[in-house]
């Protein structure tokens, strides 16, 4: 510690640098004295802050158990985040005079029948990262994104819309708003 005064640095600063082992944390003694902060008080404050940070990090909650008493899997959690809309069946009128006919399966909400340009396709709902309804016919490369305010039929291979701004002829938006639920 004799080196400190020889360099014009107080022994308290040298001691504090030795405690922290980094010059970044050294504080001028004048600041400590001016604010009536002792080295012990400074160390107590830093220690208290560190303890609070560690306690906050340990305060994570465990995932809640589902009805069967088991922890939810990632697939089950994603499924619970999917939005469920009761949307209309029937004819959807789209931009450029196009039309798409949708028949919803009463027994299975994850299936729809889509009639497009004279061909009938069965589309299955797949989970989406946004939670929005996404029905696909992976064999034929068709994707129906189904929203209460509009829907779109996409060609999965090219990424282009086949039918855009599709709206049900008989008040699809009103039917969708009535039962917008999640999970």
pLDDT tens by residue, 111-121: 899 999 999 99
pLDDT at 45 (0 to 100): 75
* Same domain, yes or no: 126 and 173: yes
Inside any domain, residue 134? yes
Distance CA 146, CA 150 (A): 7
Confidence (pLDDT) at 77:
54
Is residue 51 included in any domain, yes or no?
Answer: yes
Question: Would you state the pLDDT for residue 41?
Answer: 76
* 176 within some domain: yes
The answer to whether residue 67 is domain-embedded is no
Q: What is the mean pLDDT of the chain?
A: 70
- 15 versus 138: the higher-pLDDT residue is 138
pLDDT tens readout for residues 123-175: 998 877 777 788 999 999 999 988 888 899 999 999 999 999 999 887 544 34
Phi, psi dihedrals of residue 178, rounded to the nearest 5°: -65, -35
Number of domains composing the chain: 2
Q: Are 14 and 4 in contact (CB under 8 A)?
A: yes
Q: Indicate whether 113 belongs to any domain.
A: yes
Would you state the pLDDT for residue 89?
82
pLDDT for residue 2 is more than 80: no
DSSP letters, 98-139, are -EEEEEE-SS-TTEEEEEETTEEEEEEE---TT---EEEETT
Structural domain of 84: 78-182
């Amino acid at each position: 510690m004799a080196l400190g005064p020889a360099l014009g640095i107080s022994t308290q600063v040298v001691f504090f640098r030795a405690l922290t082992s980094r010059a970044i944390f050294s504080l001028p003694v004048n600041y400590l004295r001016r604010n009536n902060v002792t080295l012990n008080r400074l160390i107590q404050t830093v220690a208290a802050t560190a303890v609070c940070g560690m306690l906050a990090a340990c305060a994570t909650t465990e995932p809640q158990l589902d009805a069967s008493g088991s922890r939810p899997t990632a697939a089950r959690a994603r499924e619970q985040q999917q939005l469920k809309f009761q949307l209309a069946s029937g004819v959807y009128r789209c931009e450029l005079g196009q039309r798409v006919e949708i028949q919803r399966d009463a027994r299975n909400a994850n299936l729809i029948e889509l009639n497009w340009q004279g061909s009938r396709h069965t589309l299955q709902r797949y989970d989406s990262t946004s939670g929005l309804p996404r029905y696909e016919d992976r064999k034929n490369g068709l994707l129906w994104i189904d929203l209460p305010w509009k829907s779109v039929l996409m060609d999965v291979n090219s990424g282009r819309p086949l039918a855009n701004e599709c709206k049900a002829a008989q008040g699809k938006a009103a039917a969708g708003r009535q039962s917008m639920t999640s999970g």
